[in-house]
Amino acid sequence: MTLTTIALQNLRRRKGRTAFLLFTFVLVSAIIVCLQALAVNLQADLQKSLTQYGANVIITPRSEHLALSYGGLAVPGLSYEIKTLDNSVLDIVTRNSGSGIQTRAPKVIGKINFQDKSLLVVGVDFASELKMKPWWKINGKQPQAREIVAGATVAKQNSLAAGSTMNLNGLSYSVAGIMQETGGSEDNVIFTDIPTARVLTENTDSWSMIELNSLRPDQTVLRLSELLPAAKVEAVSQLVQGTQESVDRFRNYALFASLILVLIGILIVAVTVTANVNNRAPEIGVFRAIGFRKEHILGLFLREILLLSLSGSIAGYVLGAIAPPLFGHLIFAKSFTFHLFPGLALLTIGASLLLASVAVAFPAWRAASLDSTEALRCI
């Protein structure tokens, strides 16, 4: 028999109170971890977008409409007033390659109908595109004329596989491959080569957008903006600024909500343990009478709360970490990947233990300070 045994038996046999406190620790830890995991995931997602585009530059038609989303970015577009970049834009870009442009990836993007659904078709030059996006992996082969590559979600929703066919605008197209899931907007589109895309979108001589990989993106933007007054030339970082602000706001909200939750958790634990001290005064009296010192009583209360805090925060961490991959898509309409977040795990468990100690400090001190005269009164 040790103080830990006594603490454990108390927790084991006072099930209602134990369950309530454990639930508090689990809930607070789970919500905090979930919020932080979501914030980290969103930041990582944004970081991935930034990394994907690096210091790239995007040239799009000047338009008031923001109806097309591609690559996690809003691209002016196609819904009402179709504006495009004419061939001269690509010529000007090609002539100014000296301003640090490494790769040019012009695209033809349009909407087509497939089985009463609208699909986005993206015509790309796979050679230059794969230079910029080496993470694109195709199960199958790159498409040739009259062939397409389906994004992962499109393929799944339409039961497509390499070798199957799609009837698009009255013509049959062979599925050359399926693009592996990227977690980005690539999953929701079909890719093809540029000539095929021109046929499908009936866009014969212009471009929807041009992506550039530039060594000096700011200079490239300045230079091309002067040369292309009819186009919008932006560094990707400018485009993601809004998203970053949203992520920052979410992070701040998550932090604020976490702090509030911690305070509520401390209050719940402190109030519950204080009430518990009052109820256990006779028991404390017996402990004191048979020779338990203050430190023993303090140790008992600390052990009880730390055992609960430890198990609650571990369970809460696991729940909080698995919640975004399981339920994140319901709120954010995007998939989240499971991360272990070892730092967050340690922080959650450590903070939980610390805050439990803070919450229990006053009531435990009160219990320990119950002198033998008071104890006697309780007995």
Partner 1 sequence: MSLIKVANVNKVLGNGDATVEVLKGINLNVAAGEFLALVGPSGSGKSTLLSILGGLNPPSKGTVLIDDIDVYSLSQERRADFRHEYIGFVFQQYHLIPYLTALENVMLPLAITALPAKHQKEKAHDVLKKVGLGDKRSRLPNQLSGGEQNRVAIARSIINEPPLIFADEPTGSLDSKTATELLELFQTLNRNGLTIIMVTHNKDNLDWVSRTICIRDGRLIDPPQVA
Interaction site with partner 1 (CB under 8 A): 1-3, 5-6, 9-10, 12-14, 282-283, 285-294, 296, 371-373, 375-376, 379
Whole-angstrom Cα distance, residue 97 to residue 227? 13
Our CB check for partner 1 shows the closer of 3 and 92 to be 3
Whole-angstrom Cα distance, residue 138 to residue 130? 11
Our CB check for partner 1 shows the closer of 14 and 111 to be 14
Whole-angstrom Cα distance, residue 49 to residue 36? 20
Our CB check for partner 1 shows the closer of 131 and 293 to be 293
Min CB(282)–partner 1 separation in Å:
6
Whole-angstrom Cα distance, residue 11 to residue 26? 16
Min CB(301)–partner 1 separation in Å:
14
Our CB check for partner 1 shows the closer of 149 and 302 to be 302
Residue pair 315/26 in contact (Cβ under 8 Å)? The answer is yes
CA neighbor of 324 nearest in space, from 313, 337, 333: 337
Residue pair 74/239 in contact (Cβ under 8 Å)? The answer is yes
Our CB check for partner 1 shows the closer of 2 and 172 to be 2
Min CB(367)–partner 1 separation in Å:
14
Our CB check for partner 1 shows the closer of 290 and 333 to be 290
Residue pair 310/349 in contact (Cβ under 8 Å)? The answer is yes
Whole-angstrom Cα distance, residue 124 to residue 82? 19
Min CB(326)–partner 1 separation in Å:
37
Our CB check for partner 1 shows the closer of 75 and 300 to be 300
For residue 253, CA distances in Å to 170, 248, 258, 307, 322 come to 50, 8, 8, 30, 20
Our CB check for partner 1 shows the closer of 45 and 304 to be 304
Question: How far is Cα of residue 93 from the mean position of the Cα atoms in its chain?
Answer: 35
Min CB(261)–partner 1 separation in Å:
30
Min CB(379)–partner 1 separation in Å:
5
CA neighbor of 206 nearest in space, from 69, 328, 106, 351: 106
Our CB check for partner 1 shows the closer of 20 and 253 to be 20
